[in-house]
Amino acid sequence: MAGKNDLKMILASEGVKYLESASEKVPWSAIDGKTICLFFSASWCKPCRAFTPDLVTLYNFVKDKGENLEVILVSNDRDETSYREHLKTMPWLAIPFNLNRYKRLVRLFNIDHIPALISPSSEGNSVDNDVVGMVEDYGADAFPFTTKRIRELKAMDERKQRGGVIEDLLAHSGRDYVISKDGRKILVSDLKGKTIGLYFGAHWCPPARNFTRQLNEAYTELVTILNQPFEVIFVSTDRDQEEFISNLSNMPWKAIPYEDKTRKDLKRIFNIKGIPTLILIGPDGKIIGSNGRAIISMYGAMAFPFTETRIAEIEDALREEGERLPSKVQDPKHIHELKLDMAKGYICDACRKQGRFWTFSCTVCDYDLHPTCVEETF
Ligand SMILES: [Zn+2]
Ligand SMILES: [Zn+2]
């Protein structure tokens, strides 16, 4: 990997005599003393088009802060015309268009995919090839892209993940509230001392829609009826603001505003790989577990406050109940023998009411009885 002092030399030996912006030629002296990033990109490349606005935001933010950053486009566009159009979308500089030179630079800097953003001036080479991911993950905070900076950011993530201070996790210097569906702002500090579920979901995802209903049931029972110290914060992965608003309109709990970067931060901090996911956080701000979805869909409101102790209590009680029941019964209401079984949910064929967990179930047809609705004395 080439170092800071080599960059100009390398480009000079590649025949680059000057740089250019969208509107004019720019002399080499324009980048003296600056942190330089080479940006390998092409307008035909969809990930490049998706990444460029992130980089523009970072570039403007960092420049406004008075940092000496310069980005130099190394274009892989099809021709000079598309290169010119491409450069117009960027506030930074470029190396004059030359595809043969592009190929040589790609080899020289070990670029195996675009977009690639490398900062040959970064101390330590380990992050040099990963700056795109760093910018995608951390936005403007990624600057100046050094190994030291990535270590700091990761340490910050880990500290937030370990938890303890709910404001660190859910708020930042520009926002100290979460929102409700009617547009109310609720201070994050008011959530202190509550058990919190961070709900990662989206309306386009059928399992998430299904889980929203289950969570809604548990939430209503816990918060509206029993007045328990529980709150859910929706972290949307809806496709756009409109979908988010319509999704939130079915939720009685709170949400991180759609446009806020915390949504992305929370996904990264808790390493969210799929939705729906419910991360449970205790009243002390520390994580209880990431299996909230399974707990809620299995036990609903009775699992509150979702601690290991509470779950063990429920499971022990269920086991004891099961041990008291016979493994088979013959009930006069049904022709076949019924076997003791465990089900997440069923409708009892005697009383027509919902049942959960233990059931006497027919193995031949779809027939269930509450243990209490079995008439046969065992
Ligand atoms: Zn029944
Ligand atoms: Zn049957």
How much is the pLDDT for 322?
95
Ligand 1 centroid to 346 CA: how many Å? 10
Start-end of H helices in the chain: 4-13, 46-64, 80-88, 99-108, 131-138, 147-162, 166-170, 206-219, 241-248, 262-269, 292-299, 308-324
Ligand lying closest to the C-alpha of residue 331: 2
Ligand 2 centroid to 353 CA: how many Å? 19
Contact at 8 Å (CB) between 183 and 255?
Answer: no
Handedness of CA 58, 61, 66, 72 (dihedral sign): positive
Cα 42 from Cα 90, distance rounded (Å): 12
Ligand 1 centroid to 357 CA: how many Å? 13
Average pLDDT, the chain: 92
Give CA separation, 20 vs 17, 53, 71, 72, in Å. Answer: 10, 20, 11, 9
Q: What are the chain's domains?
A: 4-155 (3.40.30.10), 166-313 (3.40.30.10), 325-373 (no CATH)
Residues paired with 69 in a beta bridge: 35
Ligand 2 centroid to 335 CA: how many Å? 6
Ligand 2 centroid to 365 CA: how many Å? 4
Tokens of 274: 């799929």
Contact at 8 Å (CB) between 75 and 102?
Answer: yes
Phi first, then psi, for residue 356 (nearest 5°) are: -145, 150
Kindly report, residue by residue over 266-278, the tens digit of the pLDDT.
Answer: 999 999 999 999 9
Ligand 2 centroid to 337 CA: how many Å? 7
Ligand 2 centroid to 316 CA: how many Å? 30
Ligand 2 centroid to 356 CA: how many Å? 19
Ligand 2 centroid to 374 CA: how many Å? 14
Ligand lying closest to the C-alpha of residue 347: 1
Assessment of whether the complete model's pTM goes beyond 0.75:
yes
- Taking alpha carbons only, the member of 279, 262, 280, 254 closest to residue 186 is 254
Ligand 2 centroid to 373 CA: how many Å? 16
Kindly report, residue by residue over 283-312, the tens digit of the pLDDT.
Answer: 999 999 999 999 999 999 999 999 999 999
Give CA separation, 50 vs 54, 114, 120, 136, in Å. Answer: 8, 11, 23, 10
Kindly report, residue by residue over 7-60, the tens digit of the pLDDT.
Answer: 888 888 889 999 999 999 999 899 988 888 999 999 999 999 999 999 999 999
Kindly report, residue by residue over 159-207, the tens digit of the pLDDT.
Answer: 999 888 999 999 999 999 999 999 999 999 999 999 999 999 999 999 9
**Of 345 and 216, which is predicted with more confidence?**
216
Tokens 């209503």 sit at which residue? 220
Ligand lying closest to the C-alpha of residue 355: 1
Cα 250 from Cα 247, distance rounded (Å): 6
